[in-house]
């Protein structure tokens, strides 16, 4: 089993950043992740037959719990990952029990119980829908200022609007 360490480092960094953004523990190290991959012999932790292609959180980050920590991360194939999407189990179960339960359900094609996620900050942000007008405005700001991400463009737009408001509130100095 060959592991591309650069690729895996980038993978865990993405997930560490996601956990940090959600205000959750982010402690998974490359060594821990490599040990986990070896434990499952590079296969999906759920079906154990297809090589993994994603890092899956046993308790999804969207649930506002868990985090990117060794106990909460397993390798998963695309198929299992998408099938268990939105699955949220009893929080009192241990990671091993949770893995066993998801594995069993996927194996026998059982429907997985779903639970409503608690309203986390991240969840709320996701639910905020942008209008076509917003999207076009963000795109214009990104192009004009060479900004790489939508989030940065939104922050920039807020600052510009705040500045304009501030200026608008000041008494106008006559030009003549």
Stretch that binds Zn ion, among 24-32, 67-75, 76-84, 157-165 (CB under 5 A): 76-84
Q: Pattern 86-125, binding to Zn ion, x per CB under 5 A?
A: ----------------------------------------
Closer to Zn ion at the Cβ: 61 or 76? 76
In the bound state with Zn ion, the residue whose beta carbon lies nearer, of 44 and 61, is 44
CB of residue 19 to Zn ion, shortest distance in Å? 23
Residue 65's CB: how many other CB atoms inside 10 A? 18
Closest to 65 measured CA to CA, from 110, 30, 24: 24
Residue 37: burial class (beta carbons within 10 Å; 0-12, 13-18, 19+): buried
In the complex with Zn ion, the residue whose CB is nearer, 9 or 99, is 99
Question: Cβ-count burial of 142 within 10 angstroms (0-12 exposed, 13-18 middle, 19+ buried)?
Answer: middle
With CA atoms as reference, report the closest residue to 37 among 18, 11, 13, 63: 11
Q: What letters, b where the CB count within 10 A reaches 16 and e where it falls short, cover 66-85? A: bbbbebbbbbbbeebbebbe
Nearest distance from residue 49's CB to Zn ion, in Å?
Answer: 7
> Which residue in 61, 80, 102, 105 binds Zn ion (CB under 5 A)?
80
Residues of span 29-58 touching Zn ion by CB under 5 A: 44, 46-47, 50
Instruction: Rule CB under 5 A: say whether 77 interacts with Zn ion.
Output: yes
Q: Which one, 38 or 91, has the nearer CB to Zn ion?
A: 38
- Dist CA 46 CA 146 (whole Å): 42
- Give contact residues for Zn ion (rule: CB under 5 A): 44, 46-47, 50, 77, 80
């Amino acid at each position: 089993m060959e592991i591309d360490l650069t690729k895996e480092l980038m993978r865990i960094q993405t997930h560490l950043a996601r956990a940090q953004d959600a205000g959750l523990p982010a402690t998974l190290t490359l060594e821990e992740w490599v040990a986990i991959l070896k434990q499952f012999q590079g296969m999906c932790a759920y079906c154990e037959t297809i090589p993994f292609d994603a890092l899956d959180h046993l308790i999804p980050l969207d649930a506002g719990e868990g985090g990117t920590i060794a106990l909460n991360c397993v390798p998963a194939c695309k198929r299992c990952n998408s099938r268990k999407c939105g699955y949220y189990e009893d929080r009192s179960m241990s990671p091993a029990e949770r893995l066993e339960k998801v594995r069993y359900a996927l194996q026998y094609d059982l429907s997985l119980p779903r639970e409503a996620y608690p309203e986390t900050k991240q969840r709320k942000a996701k639910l905020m829908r942008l209008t076509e007008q917003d999207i076009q405005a963000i795109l214009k700001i990104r192009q004009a200022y060479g900004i790489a991400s939508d989030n940065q463009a939104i922050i920039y737009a807020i600052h510009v609007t705040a500045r304009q408001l501030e200026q608008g509130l000041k008494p106008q100095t006559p030009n003549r």
